[in-house]
Every structure is written in C-alpha cells, then in structure tokens.
C-alpha cells in the first residue's frame, strides 16, 4: 500500500482513473501548445542598438549577408553575421526560410567558401550570447526570438511563418 499512498501525496488518485487521464491529457496539451507557440513565434533580425555599430541592411540582402556573399555595408562597414549552433531550432527555422536550406546541407558550401578565404558566420550557443555579441560588435547582425528583444539591440526585420516583414508583428510572449 505504500506506493498507493505515495501517489495520493502526489495528488493523483489511482481509484479515480478518469481525473488522472484528463489531467495527463491537459498537461500534454499545454506542453505541446507551448512548444508549438514557441516554434511559430516570430524571429527578430537584430543589430546593435548603438547607431555607430549597427549596419544599414536592406531586407533583400539578408540571405546574401548570411551566405557571406555580401561582406560590406555602406561606406565599407564590414558585415558580421552571427549564427546560433546548427541544431538550435531558431537556426534551423532561419536557415530554411532565409537560406532555403538546412544547416546540415550547408557543410560543402562553407568548406568551399573557406577554400576561397572567407570564414562562415561566427557561431554562438545561446540567444543571450547572440544579444551580447551583436550589441557590442561593429557590423554584427543576428537573430533571436522576437520576444527576447531588449534595449541592447534593435530589431530590423521580423520573420514570421514564411514571410520576412519590416514592420513588427503582434507578439504574444506570455509563454
């Protein structure tokens, strides 16, 4: 009986099977919806909030910048795109929508660029690291969850499902 008592302490009742199932279902649904909500949340393309460090970027040039084909902005300012790690969900989404390919399929491309002396974008491991790098680096441009934009950086564009917009979409950042 000890294990039955344990389940009671945990707030679950083995005798009332229906409430347990409903509880599990609700928990599963809320987790799934939170995950789906984060997956579909807009991505913000960010530059430094300091005007002297922020590059002027046209929305049409974004893929060229992240492919490292366009290396300079106006007046010779170097462009320094930053990526999240190749498994990060935001990197995968950004890559599919802007570069039209998965990070894994880009290995040959980056090797080819290295052969021509061009380094791939700098990679950071977290959104906070992305914010810090972009905020302090001349010409840096990156991307984070639009709900995580703060006053250290400035959002230039927003990537929603299948669309790159220059106006901020309605954000629902509760989750």
Kindly state the smallest distance separating residue 15's Cβ from other proteins, in Å. 45
Judged by beta carbon, residue 74 or residue 170, the one nearer other proteins is: 74
Cβ proximity to other proteins: between 91 and 149 the closer is 91
CB of 87 to other proteins, least distance (A): 13
Nearer to other proteins, 65 or 149 (CB): 65
Question: Is the Cβ of residue 120 or residue 169 nearer to other proteins in the bound state?
Answer: 120
- Give least dist CB 107 to other proteins, A: 5
Site residues (vs other proteins, CB under 8 A): 60-61, 63-64, 67, 69-74, 76, 78, 80, 92, 96-97, 100-102, 105-109, 111-112, 114-117, 138-139, 162
Considering the complex, what minimum distance in angstroms separates the CB of residue 130 from other proteins?
A: 19
DSSP the chain: -HHHHHHHHTT--SS-HHHHHHHHHHHHHHHHHHHHHHHHSPEEEEEESSTTTPPP--GGGHHHHHTTS--B-GGGPBPEEEEE-TT-HHHHHHIIIIISS-GGGGHHHHHHHHHTT-PPPEEESSHHHHHHHHHHSTTEEEEEEGGG--TTEEEEEEEETTEEESSPPP-----
């Amino acid at each position: 009986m000890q294990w039955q008592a344990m389940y009671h302490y945990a707030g679950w009742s083995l005798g009332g099977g229906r409430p347990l199932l409903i509880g599990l279902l609700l928990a599963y649904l809320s987790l799934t919806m939170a995950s789906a909500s984060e997956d579909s949340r807009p991505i913000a393309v960010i530059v430094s909030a300091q005007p002297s460090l922020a590059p002027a970027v046209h929305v049409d040039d974004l893929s060229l910048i992240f492919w490292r084909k366009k290396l300079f902005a106006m007046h010779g300012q170097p462009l320094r795109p930053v990526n999240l790690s190749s498994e990060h969900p935001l990197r995968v989404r950004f890559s599919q929508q802007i570069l039209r390919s998965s990070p894994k399929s880009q290995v040959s491309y980056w090797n080819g660029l290295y052969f021509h002396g061009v380094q791939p974008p700098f990679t950071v491991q977290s959104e906070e690291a992305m914010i810090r790098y972009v905020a302090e680096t001349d010409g840096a441009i990156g991307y984070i969850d639009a709900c995580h934009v703060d006053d250290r950086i400035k959002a230039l564009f927003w990537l929603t499902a299948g669309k790159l917009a220059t106006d901020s979409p309605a954000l629902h950042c509760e989750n």
